[in-house]
Structure 1
């Protein structure tokens, strides 16, 4: 009995460690270290049929806000199209940032996108003049978006830096599931990954 419990504990610890490792690895992939005083922090929306931000969009907004460099001139952009009859994903996330998290800075909305590819297509003209581009999402999704930037505008790829999307121990119990899902979704950009 004790051996079984010990084995289960080792397996659980291994699964948790794998989830941490995979998410950290994705957070640091396809990023650079450009200099400059301006940045764009781009928040990619997730399907949100209700009028308030869902769990995933709340995570993404928190990632975005903690990614803002207080020493930089920051352009915060929420991206995502209509998911309800009245509010876009972008508007839902902006409302959450302002009304719940107390964000008081300026921001832009991109409200036409329905996919990650469209997010990037529609956002690139809004970020091409900044020195650094941060994509705020979960690590696998942010990596996919960075790969799409490299495909659509290779000239902007050197401006990509990682957002604060990975924190050791944060959402630890979910990270293995997020990593498994991420492996599946990243198949679309496998040839772009290091």
Structure 2
């Protein structure tokens, strides 16, 4: 009986853990899907538009783009491919300095974009930014020439970047468009973490001072 009770307890514990994991993964998907739905209110890219897609770098200490930067790069490339048939020109701008390692995040992003995803269009780099606020500020000399501006990252992070642009350059906010940043089942394991962090930062942003530095 003791052995049976132990087995039953172990099975119950495993079932509870499994349910918690499934619940967390499902929640992460729902949060990111909701961010994508909110972004649908943004204008569409129209025929003849000049489009700039800004890939927001993630801290990276390696010599190759890490898993998060590869994710963001894929978002940028599939967005570029989606809008290219109607746009006059599409430029990808990789933004991010050497925050954790010696190589700027922008350089790692560009290397990956020109390699694995196989993008053959224009790719520029901005290699000094150390925060999302700086990403948005430092790419303005490029994006202010565009008809449509797109931030490529997970949906919540892109939403924060769009809010930063509205605060820094309200005259450019009407040019914002959405990325193809949500694909069901993509990076599912990491989505709960980015959902929790993203929601917290958006709440802080919307209830805090007008010019956040991060």
TM-score by structure 1 length? 0.86
What displacement does 1:191 show? 4.2
What displacement does 1:91 show? 0.9
Which segment drifts farther, 30-39 or 74-83?
Answer: 30-39
- Which residue of 28, 42, 46 maps to 1:19? 28
Which residue does the alignment assign to 2:59?
47
Assess if the C-alpha contact under 8 Å between 1:58 and 1:96 holds in 2.
Answer: yes
Q: Structure 1 5/92 Cα, relative in aligned 2: closer, same or farther at 3 Å?
A: closer
- Structure 2 runs not aligned, ≥5 long: 1-7, 209-214
2:79 paired with 1:70: no
What displacement does 1:79 show? 0.5
Q: Structure 1 15/49 Cα, relative in aligned 2: closer, same or farther at 3 Å?
A: closer
What displacement does 1:185 show? 2.5
Which segment drifts farther, 71-80 or 15-24?
Answer: 15-24
What displacement does 1:101 show? 2.7
Q: Structure 1 5/111 Cα, relative in aligned 2: closer, same or farther at 3 Å?
A: closer
Alpha-carbon distance between aligned partners in 2 of 1:172 and 1:56, rounded to the nearest angstrom: 12
What displacement does 1:90 show? 0.7
- Which residue of 18, 32, 35 maps to 2:42? 32
What displacement does 1:182 show? 1.5
Assess if the C-alpha contact under 8 Å between 2:45 and 2:177 holds in 1.
Answer: no
TM-score by structure 2 length? 0.79
Cα RMSD after superposing both structures: 2.3
- Structure 1 runs not aligned, ≥5 long: none
- Which residue of 140, 147, 154 maps to 1:138? 154
Alpha-carbon distance between aligned partners in 2 of 1:108 and 1:138, rounded to the nearest angstrom: 20
**Higher relative contact order (Cα pairs below 8 Å, separated by 6+ residues):** 1
Count of residue pairs brought into register by the alignment: 191
2:160 paired with 1:148: no
Largest Rg, 1 or 2: 2
Which residue does the alignment assign to 1:166?
182
Assess if the C-alpha contact under 8 Å between 1:27 and 1:165 holds in 2.
Answer: yes
Assess if the C-alpha contact under 8 Å between 1:38 and 1:132 holds in 2.
Answer: yes
Alpha-carbon distance between aligned partners in 1 of 2:98 and 2:15, rounded to the nearest angstrom: 49
Which segment drifts farther, 55-64 or 18-27?
Answer: 18-27
2:115 paired with 1:99: yes
Secondary structure of the equivalent of 2:115? helix
